[in-house]
Structure 1
Amino acid sequence: MVRNLAILAGVVVVAGLGGTFYFSQGSGDEDQFAQCREGAVAGAIGGPFELVSETGETVTDKDVITEPSLLYFGYTFCPDVCPLDNTRNVEAVEILEERGQSVKPVFISIDPERDTPEVMAEFTDYMHPRMVGLTGSAAQVKAASQAYRTYYKKQESDDPEYYLVDHSTFSYLVLPEHGFVDYFKRDVTPEQMADRIGCFVEKM
């Protein structure tokens, strides 16, 4: 049920964007990553953010995106979609590590009420030793989500501590000095993801 809602949320987001993601290449410059993309990506996704790291420090996108990074927006109480997607992302990162390419997995919470830095640290430590967990105030999380044009909505619940959050399920590849360059849907395998990310890394 939750998985279907999350997938539907992703579909809604894509539909709202006219069926495509957009990325800004700069005025007239040739796209050095054109060979790495599978589809058209144009317009504005990504940008500055200020969040709280799993160590409790306030950080910006400049502090986090210090190497090629794979961003995913979700929450630690998510029963199935988020663990599955983050596991897939980690598997892609490990494949890239075997090929000598370093990519940082980043997990951004859209449930700051429950996802404290301590909770995020426990989740990311379990997923991958280099995964970075980010949370923050409701306003900080909303601003980061809006920058990446993601969707999330807390479901109504009689219990304030046990509720689900509908959310989009895309993963975003972000490069230092370049920003957002590509995204990955849920049906992309770890091997396919690693191949596409590796292409971008090689052309940096």
Structure 2
Amino acid sequence: MESARSLPILEIKNHNRRLYSELPQALVNSPVTAAAMLDSISLFELMGSKWMLAVPLSRWDEEIHEHCFDEVRHTKMVQDGAKKLRWSMTSEQILLENELNKIFYQTTEAYLSQLSRKIFKLTYLGNRNKQFSLSAYAILAFLIERRIMKIYPSLAKHGPNEEIRILAKQIIKDERKHLGFVDEKLQASLDQLQTDQKTIIDLEESLADTWMEKLTYAVANN
């Protein structure tokens, strides 16, 4: 089997297929679940921009600048999308969405926090406090963008209305561009840390499976 390190960023093979290959439709195909999901997605976008801002100015470049700008813009876009869905909800739907939103938001925060800590330890210890922020950005950006590319396509196909589906398609174009931005930086970081794509992908997928199990359970039981 071809090694994970030799795979192009945009054509990553699923070496170890896990429980969820994409976001379950039930999480995005109604206004209630989609609104809660969109607010959770905003945390992905915000997390990305925070780690980019940790990169020293001496290592900052035009791609990081554009990437950071896009993530801040995406945060506002998905939050606005959730807000517009709520405007058309009934009182009963709003109460249900509020319950789901709390669960989705807290569960997503926990998943992203665990992922950040693991990558921080990997890059900080591996680099011995030298340039760890750039490596952390490259690896986290890759993993977050890769996960996002399992979420937005589901919204683009199964979102509750045309406006949300169009929103997702617009963001997908940017996310593909972002994966290209981190390509070279990612490989340099993996080489320096003496690890590979499969290792970091497996790390993220184990956390993501638990995350999606909890979201799916919340929808089924509310």
Q: Which has the larger radius of gyration?
A: 2
TM-score, L = length of structure 2? 0.28
Q: Which structure is richer in relative contact order (CA contacts within 8 A, separation 6 or more)?
A: 2
Larger relative strand fraction: 1
Larger relative helix fraction: 2
